[in-house]
């Protein structure tokens, strides 16, 4: 099952979600419209809304509020991207200039805030308190993850446990919230644990492959500069593994790259990552997370939507961008 197959399965819902996103982006403040439309339409995968829609269908949801929640998930994700690009001083995302590069940091932060507040305005509409509990916790945990990542920057002693804590909070938590919308909307609390586990493990797998692609992908295909994580001093799993398993000279090079020189040492660091099998290790870790995601759905009744969720876990670890 390809990503196109999955999208075709819920094509009407995806189109309706896109229309809703455009409607709810609307503001009488021109700059909000400009920046919102710029980043929303800049080639995103819409993976998190896709999970929300599939989760609802897999739980036999018959209403329309899953469209609202898919849009909410996308708005929250987009707001984190706007804030991330400012914090990371990024100039490229999805092959285009970042919003902060075009309009400046202040505008990007404030429009990110608008998307956050609009998402909370929308998530009240289904009238289900459990939605508010899930989403408010998720946004809080994501913020904690951002701060933890900031603390890890330029710290060459960051270990795997600290790094996995960051990605479980910063990335996987929103995947978890997206996956939870099915059982929450259908008020089937007995299914919440399975969907939460699915989303959390899928999100971790997705982020680990992002770490791999930062050292192995083509920059044009990836849509951002190769080595961005290294340039920002982020000790991702390939770096951490290479640091732990390299010889003293290799460890010294990686330490210098993380703490000071960053992108200037990209070629040397990439070679060390290959020599220490750090890419293979990270891919294996991502595969383990994907398998755990699939196993989490074992108790779910068979359906095309369940198969699509399982296929997404496989696609998360085989993608090239």
| Domain CATH code at residue 118 | 1.10.600.10
Domain extent, residue 163, equals 3-318
Mean pLDDT within 113-119: 94
pLDDT of 221 strictly over 70: no
Mean pLDDT, rounded, of the chain: 92
Mean pLDDT within 67-84: 93
pLDDT single digits (tens) 247-260:
999 999 999 999 98
Sorting pLDDT into bands at 50, 70 and 90, what band is 190? very high
pLDDT of 3 strictly over 60: yes
Q: What is the number of domains present in the chain? A: 1
| Percent of the chain at pLDDT exceeding 90 | 73
Q: Is 321 helix (H, G, I), strand (E, B) or coil?
A: coil
Weakest mean pLDDT among 9-13, 49-53, 233-237, 286-290: 233-237
CA distance 67 to 56: 10
Sorting pLDDT into bands at 50, 70 and 90, what band is 177? very high
What is the per-residue pLDDT for 229?
A: 84
Helical packing angle, 65-88 and 129-152, nearest 10°: 20
Mean pLDDT within 102-115: 89
Mean pLDDT within 61-89: 92
Sorting pLDDT into bands at 50, 70 and 90, what band is 41? confident
What is the per-residue pLDDT for 293?
A: 98
Q: Are strands 92-93 and 96-97 parallel, antiparallel or unpaired?
A: antiparallel
Strands (DSSP E) found in 135-285: none
């Amino acid at each position: 099952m390809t990503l196109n197959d999955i999208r075709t399965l819920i094509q009407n819902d995806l189109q309706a979600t896109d229309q809703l996103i455009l409607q709810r982006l609307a503001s009488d403040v021109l700059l909000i419209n400009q920046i919102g439309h710029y980043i929303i339409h800049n080639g995103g995968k819409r993976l998190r809304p896709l999970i929300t829609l599939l989760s609802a269908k897999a739980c036999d949801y018959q209403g329309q509020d899953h469209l609202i929640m898919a849009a909410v998930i996308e708005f929250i994700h987009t707001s984190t991207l706007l804030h991330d690009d400012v914090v990371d001083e990024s100039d490229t995302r999805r092959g285009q200039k970042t919003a902060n590069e075009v309009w400046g940091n202040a505008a990007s932060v404030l429009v990110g805030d608008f998307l956050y507040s609009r998402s909370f305005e929308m998530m009240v509409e289904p009238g289900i308190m459990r939605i508010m509990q899930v989403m408010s916790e998720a946004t809080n945990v994501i913020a904690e993850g951002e701060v933890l990542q900031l603390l890890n920057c330029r710290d060459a002693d960051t270990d795997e446990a600290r790094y996995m804590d960051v990605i479980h909070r910063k990335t996987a938590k929103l995947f978890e919230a997206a996956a939870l919308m099915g059982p929450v909307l259908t008020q089937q609390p007995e299914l919440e644990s399975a969907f939460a586990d699915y989303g959390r493990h899928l999100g971790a797998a997705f982020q680990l492959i992002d770490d791999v692609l930062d050292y192995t992908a083509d920059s044009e295909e990836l849509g951002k500069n190769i080595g961005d994580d290294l340039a920002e001093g982020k000790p991702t799993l390939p770096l951490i593994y290479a640091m732990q398993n390299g010889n003293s000279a290799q460890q010294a090079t990686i330490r210098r790259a993380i703490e000071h020189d960053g992108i200037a040492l990209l070629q040397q660091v990439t070679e060390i990552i290959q020599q220490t099998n750090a890419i293979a290790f990270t891919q294996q870790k991502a595969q383990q997370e994907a398998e755990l995601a699939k196993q989490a759905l074992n108790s779910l009744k068979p359906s095309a939507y369940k198969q699509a969720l399982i296929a997404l876990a496989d696609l998360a670890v085989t993608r090239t961008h």
